[in-house]
Amino acid sequence: METRETDRPAPPRQGPTYSSYLRLDKVLDAQEPLSETHDELLFIVIHQTSELWIKLCLHELEAARQALMQDRLGAAFKMMARVARVQQQLIQSWDVLATITPADYSAMRGRLGGSSGFQSVQYRLLEYMLGAKNAAMLAAHDGDVPAQEVLREALTRTSLYDEALRLLARRGFGVPADRLERDFTLPYQASAEVEAAWAQVYGQSERYWDLYELAEKLVDLEYRVQLWRFGHLKTIERIIGFKRGTGGSAGVPYLAKVVGEVFFPELLSVRQAL
């Protein structure tokens, strides 16, 4: 069959190519299995792609935090909605990882040493961004000075929820001063006054529509984080049962504990008050 001139791909123009722009030489050379186990490539790819998705989440949520500080709620909503879509990709990745059988994982597990998801700096940054400040988790990065510096700095910053509360205060709601200016390295503590402020927003949603939408965007983020955590729990339970994690964690019991932790407590408790 004769090939027409129009069917031939155009020669590359000057400038970056698809491969050079995406740095595919580095990306596709970054998978180096330590064993001969067939499923180890899947294990590596899932975790590497998850780190890339989390990188995007951090990029969007930091921009959303800045937008809240500047009262640009429309921009913040766009970024938060994008993060929710990315979170769905992260949640679905457990379905792929769960195709690894216990025997397959056992064949590679000894090569992993003490490496663990506990050591994901980006996941810790995501928790800090959402307000789950826990300085004790820095111990997972002992010996990694750059990681500890990044995390210590992130501990001091306001979370997305802190900026949401500051926005409520600027709009005239009765948010206590000790929730607006506090030691941001510590976990946020729920407040009856903050719940009352959100109750007012929910009770008069047409009047405070943008704040109502903000509340629901935050709830959506938390909902999807908990789905991701639950997927993690059930995948680990399916593959290794109740063995301890490679990094020394309790494994499934630890994951079951964190599933119950919340980021924005008043946005859940207010539902009982409505």
* CA angle in degrees (0–180, nearest 5) for 129-60-196: 50
Amino acid symbol at 240: I
Of 135, 194, 147, which is closest to residue 166 (Cα–Cα)? 194
CA distance 274 to 261: 22
Residue 14, judged by CB atoms within 10 A of its CB (0-12, 13-18, 19+), counts as exposed
Our measurement of the distance from residue 114's CA atom to the centroid of its chain's CA atoms, rounded to an integer in Å, reads: 23
Chain CA centroid to CA 269, Å? 23
- What's phi and psi for 161, nearest 5 deg? -70, -35
Q: In this structure, which amino acid lies at residue 130?
A: L
Q: How far apart are the first and last CA of the chain?
A: 71
* CATH level 2 (architecture), domain 36-273: Up-down Bundle (1.20)
Taking only the tens of pLDDT, the chain with its 274 residues reads 555 656 777 666 788 999 999 999 999 999 999 999 999 999 999 999 999 999 999 999 999 999 999 999 999 999 999 999 999 999 999 999 999 999 999 998 888 887 877 789 999 999 999 999 988 888 888 888 999 999 999 999 999 999 999 999 999 999 999 999 999 999 999 999 999 999 999 999 999 999 999 999 999 999 999 999 999 989 988 887 766 555 555 567 777 878 888 999 999 999 988 8
CA atoms of 11 and 22, how far apart (whole Å)? 19
- Residue 95 class from Cβ within 10 Å (0-12 exposed, 13-18 middle, 19+ buried)? exposed
What residue ranges do the domains of the chain occupy? Answer: 36-273
